[in-house]
Amino acid sequence: MTDEARFIELLQKNEKLMEILGFIDQLNLKDYYLAAGCVFQTIWNLQEEQEPMAHIHDIDLVYYDLTKSYDTAKARDKALETLLNQRFALEFDVHNEAYMHQWKGRNLKPYQSTEDAMCRWIATVHAVGIRGNRQQLTVFAPFGLTDIFERHIRPIYHLDNSKSLYDAKCAKWQARFSDLKIEIGQTNESSGDRTFYFHSSPKSDLKML
């Protein structure tokens, strides 16, 4: 069995996540993914023989839609969060990645797609998303799946990211899960704690699975 087939098989064991995904797939959001913690932490939970949704209290939903204005997009995101929070009794974070460079409050370049945004997320295990439904799952994993299976946390070196945020994420994951291998992030002395100092390229052989 390939890594991607094993990955999908494990995700399908998370009944709650599959229910959420099936509902969201009907909303017709452009270039959407359920992403980050709800995905990779499902794998870690099952590796530890825990319930698939253990430790998962919030769900990240990202999409990309330039047809909406910034204010309209923000209002839509909040409305979607309210709808999903009430329906599934979980906290949802919904973001239109077309405007996330503005939301982050720094002089960042606009993202070209949801996938482009995910390639600049904080860690390789974090940069993963799924869409579709139980019968036909599509996985986006620009840095591959090996780090998730091996519980190896590595920073994504990009000027969008900060060492302080990476360290905070690592501390949170380490408090919830055992046997994590954590790579210490390095920064440029001139930028101090604010940004990582070089760019890390996604693996060319594993993007859309």
| pLDDT confidence of residue 107 | 59
CA distance 209 to 202: 14
Q: Is 188 within the bounds of a domain?
A: no
209 belongs to a structural domain: no
pTM of the model: 0.86
63-116 pLDDT, tens digit per residue, is: 999 987 888 989 999 999 999 999 999 999 999 999 886 665 555 788 899 999
DSSP 53-120: TTT--EEEEEE--TTS-HHHHHHHHHHHHHHHHHHHSSEEEEEEGGGHHHHTTS--PPPSSHHHHHTT
Domain range spanning residue 13? 3-182
Least confident range from 16-30, 34-48, 95-109, 195-209: namely 195-209
Number of domains in the chain: 1
Q: Could you report the per-residue pLDDT of 163-191, keeping only the tens digit for each?
A: 888 899 999 999 999 999 999 877 554 44
